[in-house]
Amino acid sequence: MEVLNKYITIKAHINGAPHESDFELKTVTFPISVESGSNDVVVKSLYLSIDPYQINRMKSYSSSQNTISFAVGIVPGEAIDAFGVGRVVASGHPGFEKGDLVSGMISWGEYSIVKGTSMLNKLDPMGFPLSYHVGVLAFSGLTAYAGFFELCKPKKGEKVFVSAASGSVGNRLANMQSCLAATLSAALGANKRYFPDGIDIYFDNVGAEMLEAAVANMNMFGRVAACGVISEYTDAAKRAAPNMIDVVYKRITIRGFLAADHMNLFADFSSATADHLHKGRIHVLEDISQCVESIPAAFVGLFRCDNVGKKIVQVMDE
């Protein structure tokens, strides 16, 4: 059986802010079957996580630049892999059957062939909407959880500043209880007003001036967990220049991290988050667009702060 598969790709490498015209929709015939003896799994996309970091994979790098050499670059014209939730429509792998719900690395398209299954897991929705499993219960949530509890180790009463609190990770964090989390999406100059006692923990998704302002208003032994630098992704000349005299004298720690390093926490994170959700302690903020054609606008909008909450595309109906 064959279908027409629609997917999104980039026309060429993108080095500045992305525009919808940088993307194109391709339509190809696609077999809903696997070769006998293969381990391939064919997945129909249901929900896709739309993440700013993808822009770093879309850039062209000279061979002398090693900045993103540890991420796999996206090739113009080819499918773009992305985290999502889908349903198995054909499987050559004994661990997956047609009809299974799965989450993992699928693609910006309606159908994907997942070769090898290290990037795919069977999904138990635990009674939650499937969209939760690309956001609050997935990497956005894990980033917030690991960064907050593992890296920042908050103590009761500490003041926490979260940048981009309307974004996916920021929004998760701003929901965490036991610390005062101020949800400011643009806090320049407002730091002193909202944090008269200074900042103990800054969760940085933004970089540039926001990081500088946070460091300037930070208390002794403050901690910055940096999981993203969205303001710097699309402007190679844009840099954070925190006052290093502050960093030394206030003994500030600035630490970059990726959620993928903290998969050992996933089970704890998942059950804690499910519990918070059941008890109504987390207010889930999602911004969901429909169908594969909306992916470029959804992605481009991340860099214009169009989204309010975790940006998700529902690619196809369940």
Structure tokens at 198: 């200074």
Cβ proximity to its own copies, 117 vs 191, nearer residue: 191
Tell me: does residue 178 bind its own copies (CB under 8 A).
no
Give which of 5, 32, 39, 22 is closest to 119, Cα–Cα.
39
Choose the binding region for its own copies from 31-39, 83-91, 105-113, 250-258 (rule: CB under 8 A): 250-258
Does position 141 bind its own copies by CB under 8 A?
no
CA pair distance 72, 258, nearest whole angstrom: 15
| Helix segments in the chain, DSSP class H | 54-58, 139-145, 168-174, 191-194, 208-216, 230-233, 244-249, 266-278, 295-302
Shortest distance in whole angstroms from residue 189 CB to its own copies:
13
Applying CB under 8 A, the span of 16-24, 44-52, 219-227, 274-282 interacting with its own copies comes to 219-227
Footprint of its own copies on residues 72-131 (CB under 8 A)? Answer: none
**Residues whose CB falls within 8 Å of the CB of residue 133, separated by 6 or more in sequence, listed in order:** 47, 85, 103, 123, 125
* Segment lying near its own copies (by CB under 8 A), choices 20-28, 117-125, 222-230, 302-310: 222-230
Q: Which one, 57 or 115, has the nearer CB to its own copies?
A: 57
User: Counting contacts by CB under 8 A, is residue 182 touching its own copies?
Assistant: no
Q: Please tell me the distance from the alpha carbon of residue 158 to that of residue 220, in angstroms, as a whole number.
A: 12
Q: Are 44 and 102 in contact (CB under 8 A)?
A: no
User: Considering beta carbons, is residue 249 or 291 the nearer one to its own copies?
Assistant: 249
Contact 168, 140 (CB under 8 A): yes
| CA end-to-end span of the chain | 19
Q: Which of 114, 123, 211, 313 binds its own copies (CB under 8 A)?
A: 211
Name the minimum Å distance from CB 16 to its own copies.
14
Structure tokens belonging to residue 104: 């993992």
* Residue 259 sits in the site that holds its own copies (CB under 8 A): no
Binding flag, residue 274, its own copies (CB under 8 A): no
Does 214 help bind its own copies (rule: CB under 8 A)? no
Please give the residue ranges that form the binding site for its own copies (CB under 8 A). 56, 67-68, 70-71, 204, 207, 211, 220, 226-229, 232-233, 239-258, 261
